[in-house]
Structure 1
Amino acid sequence: MAAAAAAALLSCSCVVVYLLLGNVFASYSIIKNLPGFPGDLPFKLETGYIGVGELDEVQLFYYFIESQRSPEDDPLVLWLTGGPGCSAFSGLVYEIGPLSFDYQNSKGNIPKFLLNPYSWTKVANIIFLDQPVGTGFSYATTWQAYNMKDTLSTKQTYTFLRKWLIAHPKFLSNELYVAGDSYSGVTVPVLVQEISDGMDMGHEPRMNLKGYMLGNPLTDEDKDLNSRIRFAYLKALIEYEIYKSTKRNCKGEYINVDPSNSLCLADLQNVTRCIERINTAQILEPKCTRHSPKPTPPSWNRSIIVEQDQYHNDFLLSPTDEVSSRPWCRNYNYIYSYTWANDKTVQKALGIREGTIKQWVRCNSSLSYTKDVPTSLVYHQNLIKKGYQVLIYSGDHDMVIPYVGTKKWIKSLNLTIQYGWQPWLVDGQVAGYSVVYSQKDYHLTFATVKGGGHTAPEYKPKECLAMIFRWFAEYPL
């Protein structure tokens, strides 16, 4: 028994913090090792819950990884994966965290891990947060608390961050950035506005907010999805005659189409025939079909377009399916996260409270969620006068949220171009193109990542680490 207790202490140290300031109750564990990774973790991992909402009925789960360079000096990043409803673990293990699955050698019940040499934790402390409630391992103690919307979720995330910093005061002086991708393009600017307003009102603790980063961000659904036609033409997925006719007959509106506009509808059918076999998340990778149920035929109706984005779809495989015997598809990589995160020994190692969730899913499509922020553009505009540093990046092979739409709304901010459109390099090769805008102390860098999909770090990790390292250091990309 003594040996078992000693082993448990070696694997994790559990800490419960109660502070009168702000009525903060934080429960977290320092994780020394994880199932699937041999030996001790070569970085500091903390997991835990922080309660938000009335009577803390919402319990938000997080993973915190200290910078592997200099935790005292490096920035603190709050990372919000998109969806809404995609777990922070997805961002951690498939995008910017220090672990990735060892697909070649994961044959047993628990997938194995490799170290990611391009983790952003090499240059930053990162909190990966499961938000909104119902995402990942975050849960609520009442069914009413699962009813969520953009503005409420951001308020709860703001409360989480305040409580987390109270429980971790040594990071109060670190430069703070809020980051996210995909649907987080809607919520991150709202959250940054919330933090900024709190600073102006003297909320404690005082945060050292410096800016925010967004990858392949959804900003305004109409504008972003409308840009897909132009993107398809620029990438030679549709020919000029089809593009010209569609643009003329639809008058640039491809989402909310007048059902009596027969010429526009006919053009959109031509467009659909050209791109229906394209993987919208990365146009050069194979598009794989789901096993069940059969998807709705392609349509330019808004809801169908959103539902068919490959980034949100994981494959529903039967127990007899052999992934290794099928043609490769990126979605197969996501299966490993289900196997790992639903294993009881894994959940015990992470400190997951037993019985709080029925099953972990990478992206929860059954959330009770209302999208009450139709566009985050107004929040970007409000934040210009605050003098923040902003990085917007897009994989240039992403047709879910095409870079041409992102570039267009950035242009609408009417900022001054500080450095014009130019290539940025990694190892002597073009890694993308960038442009820097400014207005007094405010600076916005927009960068494309060549060959990147939705979202860029999953496809081009080396280039994205170089990008974020240079941006944090205020070097030109």
Structure 2
Amino acid sequence: MSVILLRNTHCHLINMMLFLASTLLLLSDAAASKSIIKSLPGFHGNLPFVLETGYIGVGELEAVQLFYYFVESERSPKDDPLVLWLTGGPGCSALSGFIYEIGPLSFDYAKSSGGGKPVLALNPYSWTKIANIIFVDAPVGTGFSYSTTWEGYDVSDTLSAAETYEFLRKWLVDHPKFLTNPLYVAGDSYSGIVAPIIVQEISDGNEVGRQPTMNLKGYVLGNPLTDHEIDTNSIVPFAYLKALISDKLYESFMKNCKGEYLNPDQSNASCMEDILAIKECIGDLYTAQILEPTCKLISPKPVALKWDPRFLIADDADILLSSPRVHGHWCRSYNHVYIYGWANDETVRDALHIRKGTIKDWRRCNKTLAYSYNVESAVDYHRNLTKKPYRALIYSGDHDIIIPYIGTHEWIESLNLTIKHDWEPWFVDGQVAGYAMLYADNAQEYITYDLSFATVKGGGHTAPEYRPEQCFAMMDRWFDYYPL
């Protein structure tokens, strides 16, 4: 008996030593570059929340340096969830999500007009009121993240996920007090491809004993690109449901193109005429929110060229800084101009502790990434995760035509989950805020996985930017396991 006890104690000590060794190894590799930011240009007085910025080195020889903004929960940092937030793109900076979507600060547009420096104000619907959030500039080349080698900039969907997973492991080793917090991976738009891969990496790492063990609870995705074929082919049915195209045109498209918008038969003249007519109907709409106008002249590519069903979207700054605003004609992209002046200001960079000489021109979305799109669909990752004890929230602004909610609903249905609560409205302040469904995996002996699908009424591609109060209420309820 004593021999067995000694053997067990010996095994326990070995396991402890292995854990400490792996932790020390991670710590030795983790970047020590982090700073607590007390104040920021454009905001009057000290920040009323804890903001930390820093770099974490990942990959071979830590050539890739990923920059992050971390905000502690303003409610209870030790109890509230820890959220890793990924902005889409790929290549759109975490600062965009921080300022325009779910972060504690936003621009005060009334006080920022007139050519002066942008003025910052507190966001009353910041998700940091209920969660600790790490906003990371990923993949490398995004925001203030950079590589010390040219090879480091060659990145793909799977490599980006692997590097972000390594980032999170090192960040948690460097911030051990958050190891026990419920962990969620979250993001929107193109993050719908990368985030489920990261969740899978974390889950697999936990199962094989990779340190540190993470308290993974699930993931949250907004208007996520998930399956290129499903998402793109849902554009025309969505346009029809929203009365953007006529019954006659929709019926003709379904007959001539057989519902194929991603890869239509270009030799079919009738089909291509229908597609060009559809583009004519929706070409002047802001694709992220169909109730708003576009600020760009969009023209379909000639039929002779390789067909591209996506809309031509230029960078906000390129358009707006080179042409005068038209009086009375407002576009949401005007709001995005302020962030360029702010993030490229040297006093701001100094305040954020950005390493000098690493990023010449900050861009909200870097469209020159050396990026390989090597995952066409993330549906199989979601399907794998339905067998795990996780929670998922997929929400869709229902006025987004880039990733229409009906395409998102279609791939969710393909997971063959059991419907626990069918389509029904959810409310904020007595008003309909959207519609929601709750799914679960009943194939197992015990229900351990559930997925909530919610639409946000009137929301656009980045739903919190358009409906901040409703999205805040949605997250507050979901994090606390309440019905929406």
Instruction: State the shift of 1:222 in Å.
Output: 1.6
1:191-270 equivalences under 5 Å are 191-270=198-277
**Contact preservation (8 Å) 2:157, 2:374:** yes
Instruction: State the shift of 1:306 in Å.
Output: 3.1
Structure 1 residues 413 and 342 mapped into 2: Cα distance closer, same or farther (>3 Å)? same
1:376-455 equivalences under 5 Å are 376-439=378-441, 440-455=447-462
Could you tell which deviates more after superposition, 174-183 or 19-28?
A: 19-28
The residue identity in structure 2 corresponding to 1:414 is N
Correspondence for 2:76 among 54, 66, 70: 70
Structure 1 residues 305 and 333 mapped into 2: Cα distance closer, same or farther (>3 Å)? farther
Alignment partner of 1:471: what SS? helix
CA offsets 1:222-261 (integer angstroms, 9 cap, x no match): 2101100000000001111211121121112112111222
Instruction: State the shift of 1:21 in Å.
Output: 3.1
Correspondence for 2:342 among 322, 340, 343: 340
Could you tell which deviates more after superposition, 123-132 or 279-288?
A: 279-288
Structure 1 residues 318 and 125 mapped into 2: Cα distance closer, same or farther (>3 Å)? closer
1:10-409 equivalences under 5 Å are 20-22=24-26, 23=28, 24-106=30-112, 107=114, 109-289=116-296, 296-297=299-300, 304-309=308-313, 313-316=315-318, 323=325, 325=327, 327-409=329-411
The residue identity in structure 1 corresponding to 2:409 is K
Q: Which whole-Å CA distance do the structure 1 matches of 2:320 and 2:370 have between them? A: 28
**Contact preservation (8 Å) 2:33, 2:54:** yes
Instruction: State the shift of 1:270 in Å.
Output: 2.2
The residue identity in structure 2 corresponding to 1:138 is S
**Contact preservation (8 Å) 1:272, 1:299:** no
Instruction: State the shift of 1:297 in Å.
Output: 3.1
Alignment partner of 2:35: what SS? strand
Alignment partner of 2:44: what SS? coil
**Contact preservation (8 Å) 1:299, 1:305:** no
The residue identity in structure 1 corresponding to 2:349 is Q
**Contact preservation (8 Å) 2:245, 2:278:** yes
Could you tell which deviates more after superposition, 253-262 or 164-173?
A: 253-262
Q: Which whole-Å CA distance do the structure 2 matches of 1:410 and 1:319 have between them? A: 41
The residue identity in structure 2 corresponding to 1:416 is T
**Contact preservation (8 Å) 2:276, 2:300:** no
Q: Which whole-Å CA distance do the structure 1 matches of 2:164 and 2:81 have between them? A: 19
**Contact preservation (8 Å) 1:96, 1:119:** yes
Alignment partner of 2:32: what SS? strand
**Contact preservation (8 Å) 1:451, 1:460:** yes
Instruction: State the shift of 1:307 in Å.
Output: 4.8
- For 2:13, the equivalent position in structure 1 comes to none
Instruction: State the shift of 1:421 in Å.
Output: 0.3
- For 1:10, the equivalent position in structure 2 comes to none
CA offsets 1:131-179 (integer angstroms, 9 cap, x no match): 0000000000001110110111110000000000000000000000000
Structure 1 residues 318 and 281 mapped into 2: Cα distance closer, same or farther (>3 Å)? closer
The residue identity in structure 2 corresponding to 1:275 is I
Q: Which whole-Å CA distance do the structure 2 matches of 1:438 and 1:307 have between them? A: 35
RMSD over aligned CA atoms reads 1.7
Q: Which whole-Å CA distance do the structure 1 matches of 2:90 and 2:103 have between them? A: 20
Alignment partner of 1:386: what SS? coil
The residue identity in structure 2 corresponding to 1:274 is C
Q: Which whole-Å CA distance do the structure 1 matches of 2:388 and 2:92 have between them? A: 30
Q: Which whole-Å CA distance do the structure 1 matches of 2:310 and 2:259 have between them? A: 19
Instruction: State the shift of 1:20 in Å.
Output: 3.0
Equivalences, count: 453
Q: Which has the larger radius of gyration?
A: 2
Alignment partner of 2:55: what SS? strand
In the superposition, the TM-score normalised over structure 2's length comes to 0.91
Alignment partner of 1:90: what SS? helix
Gaps of 5+ in 1: 1-18
The residue identity in structure 1 corresponding to 2:204 is D
**Contact preservation (8 Å) 2:222, 2:394:** yes
- For 1:16, the equivalent position in structure 2 comes to none
Structure 1 residues 307 and 367 mapped into 2: Cα distance closer, same or farther (>3 Å)? farther
**Contact preservation (8 Å) 1:26, 1:51:** no
In the superposition, the TM-score normalised over structure 1's length comes to 0.92
Q: Which whole-Å CA distance do the structure 2 matches of 1:361 and 1:299 have between them? A: 30
CA offsets 1:261-305 (integer angstroms, 9 cap, x no match): 222112212222222212211000111126xxxx54367988744
Alignment partner of 2:335: what SS? helix
Alignment partner of 2:455: what SS? strand
Alignment partner of 1:132: what SS? coil
The residue identity in structure 1 corresponding to 2:370 is S
Q: Which whole-Å CA distance do the structure 2 matches of 1:239 and 1:319 have between them? A: 36
**Contact preservation (8 Å) 1:83, 1:363:** yes
- Runs of at least 4 residues off by over 6 Å: 299-303
CA offsets 1:191-240 (integer angstroms, 9 cap, x no match): 10011000001011110000000000000112101100000000001111
Alignment partner of 2:310: what SS? helix
Instruction: State the shift of 1:398 in Å.
Output: 0.3
CA offsets 1:22-78 (integer angstroms, 9 cap, x no match): 132331000000000000000000000000011100000000000000000000000
